[in-house]
Amino acid sequence: MQSLKSIFLAKLSIFFILFLQSIHCQANVPQLLVADSLFNQRSYKEAMEIYQVNFQLGVYSPSMLLKMAFISEGIGDSEKATLYLSKYYDLSPNPQTISKIKTLTGQSELVGYEVSDGMRFVLFLVEYREIIVGSLTLFLIMSLIFLWSKGNKLTEARFYWPSVILISVIFMTNNFLKGPNTALVTSSPTLIMTKPTAGGVPVDLVEPGHRVKIRSSKDVWYEIEWKDQIAYIKKENVTRL
């Protein structure tokens, strides 16, 4: 059996890899604080520039998305405002957001915004993923300190399983806990087809504002779920969320 110090160092190395990944994800937080300050000072253009850079990097929060939607609507860019509100809806589903999107798009009914109880739970975990990873990391540190303090007294494998499980859960949560793979219809009008070819039969003709769940990618098409059936939509007509 490996020595306790070898096991400890191996676990510690994995921990620091995961920890550094989290730090990398949060590297732009100071910039977001600057952007929030600019927003509060009504320097919307400067704030938006910072928000957009971080949004493209996948660093955003519900409040940031609302601010981006507010700025976009203020400059008359309803398409971008709808995009940010739709992304916000993934993190915080509520009827008020749907009503606002209907107003921006001129739609009386919207498809693709239904959220089951199970999906709400997943979205909740996604929203608080950083807190979850941070809490689990704290427990991992405590378990490693405990193992180190016991020295060579702990020789049975069962004493190491909690640390191994924590490392696995942290890795899975940090890398694979994600929201639904959806896209927002942004072109007017957009055809939804039965097949990924121009020779397919049209299923629906839709306007911007609707959402589709992406199943896979096929050349210039996405295979999607649309009204409880499998259909296809051109990639150029949607924006990934």
Extract the residue ranges of the chain whose pLDDT is less than 70.
Answer: 1-28, 151-159
pLDDT value at residue 202:
93
Task: Break the chain down into helix, strand, coil percent, rounded to 5.
Answer: 60, 15, 25
pLDDT value at residue 103:
93
Cα→Cα distances 106→10, 18, 87, 187, 209, Å: 57, 45, 19, 14, 9
Q: What is the pLDDT of residues 171-224, one digit of tens each?
A: 888 777 777 788 999 988 899 999 998 888 999 999 999 999 999 998 899 999
pLDDT value at residue 43:
95
Report the distance separating Cα 130 and Cα 115, nearest Å: 22
- The strand pairing partners of 221, in sequence order, are 218, 234
pLDDT value at residue 1:
46
Tokens, residue 57: 């990097």
Domains and CATH numbers, the chain: 182-240 (2.30.30.40)
CB 89 within 8 A of CB 126: no
- Rg, C-alpha atoms of the chain: 23
* CA neighbor of 14 nearest in space, from 150, 172, 155: 172
